Structure 1
């Protein structure tokens, strides 16, 4: 584009000069004048014809230069935005997998009381989850409603281990929702892939206990996850729900 514009400028200069020579020297037979006034008139002619043409060409070059600068600025902005997104993903990954490690620690430390106050029976880990599931199924078979199951979970979770596990899982879900939001340049597929990773990286017995907590526990954490439609859709994609019991 620039080379073509420069060629057009040179051609305009050549054409203007050639037209003058052809008209006055070849057509009218004039000779080269020694009068300064004649040369002044030639300068007026030359400038009057070429100035608008060269000014127009200069404007074209200026516009082209501005377009190049604008394209460079857009590329720079895109690069900065991409760098911000990469840094955001890196920070998110560190926090996300720290929560995953925390979940594993909570499962290891899980302890519930399946006995009575006078005769406590402390059960830990995955065995505790299996026991709780059987007890909840028995309660349901005996006609217990949601409130009855909620009271049972509050009774056995005297150390708030189930509640703590539910809270930790909520932190992971909210981390995905907030850090990978549309406003930060992500979309629903990015979030759902991380929800799926969260579910798959959580022990299956533990995820069942968390879903039980979401279903029966009355707290902000369970309410938030029940209202997170993207998270619920991810659960359904792996045949899990928040109303298993």
Structure 2
């Protein structure tokens, strides 16, 4: 566009010279230089003013486009930084959560319960606990039975519930609302079945403060645990 503008101006100036020398002033003399200057200045100045205005408008448009591009780039950069920050935070959260779950699962190996039939450790301890509770729950007060079995078992048996309680508290406090349900499901899936049964027994017949973290996560509202809750009533 600029090139054609300058070409047009050049052609116009050439036309003015041609008109003045060959049409208007064939008998040109030094005295005609003044009128010639007035003629050229009177015609060139408006043209130069017009060109200046066009170039100024063009500069303003270019600056506006550059400013809009810079703003768009800044918005995109901020969006990218936020995405990277969110991803890093999510990865950090997941790493911490799975460390808590691994700790809970490793602690289950230290669980033990001593009965007349012998001493049981690890997953057998949880299984025996549930087995004894089921066999005596009909004939004995369940709250009293829970206390007796707690005395027979090591602290590690119930520390597993505490560890998983911490994991669910971590999810409740720090997981994003969009991902919270997914993390709760994963953590619950990784809990041993016997530990979930023990959790339901504690929910029915104890007032342990750690149960609040499970309740806040909606654990006891799930159909899979409602079966255990109803069974150990």
Name the TM-score class by shorter chain.
0.7 to 0.9
Q: Which position in structure 2 is the counterpart of 1:3?
A: none
**Contact 1:129/1:206, CA 8 A, preserved across alignment:** yes
Aligned mate of 1:161, from 137, 152, 156: 156
Aligned mate of 2:209, from 206, 214, 220: 220
After superposition, the C-alpha distances for 1:182-235 in whole angstroms (9 at most, x for unaligned) are 4xxxx1xx3333222222323222233234334444233211221223x556x4
- Partner SS state of residue 30, structure 1: helix
Map residues 105-120 of structure 1 onto 2, 5 A cutoff.
105-112=106-113
- The whole-number CA distance in structure 1 between the counterparts of 2:147 and 2:56 is 84
- Partner SS state of residue 94, structure 1: helix
- The whole-number CA distance in structure 2 between the counterparts of 1:18 and 1:214 is 96
After superposition, the C-alpha distances for 1:117-138 in whole angstroms (9 at most, x for unaligned) are xxx9754332332333234334
- The whole-number CA distance in structure 1 between the counterparts of 2:104 and 2:120 is 18
- Partner SS state of residue 220, structure 1: coil
Map residues 71-150 of structure 1 onto 2, 5 A cutoff.
71-112=72-113, 122-138=119-135, 140-142=137-139, 144=141, 148-149=142-143
- The whole-number CA distance in structure 1 between the counterparts of 2:180 and 2:65 is 42
Unaligned runs of 5+ residues in structure 2 are 23-31
Alignment RMSD, CA only? Answer: 3.4
Q: CA deviation at 1:168?
A: 0.8
- In structure 2, relative to structure 1, the CA distance for the partners of 1:31 and 1:201 (3 Å cut) is farther
- The whole-number CA distance in structure 2 between the counterparts of 1:232 and 1:14 is 83
After superposition, the C-alpha distances for 1:3-55 in whole angstroms (9 at most, x for unaligned) are xxxxx344444455556666x467xx334995555444344212321233222
TM-score, normalised on structure 1? 0.70
Map residues 1-245 of structure 1 onto 2, 5 A cutoff.
8-15=1-8, 24=16, 29-31=19-21, 36-112=37-113, 122-138=119-135, 140-142=137-139, 144=141, 148-149=142-143, 151-158=144-151, 159-182=154-177, 187=178, 190-229=179-218, 231=219, 235-236=222-223, 239-241=224-226, 243-244=229-230, 245=232
Q: CA deviation at 1:113?
A: 5.2
Unaligned runs of 5+ residues in structure 1 are 1-7
After superposition, the C-alpha distances for 1:48-79 in whole angstroms (9 at most, x for unaligned) are 21233222222221121122212221222122
TM-score, normalised on structure 2? 0.73
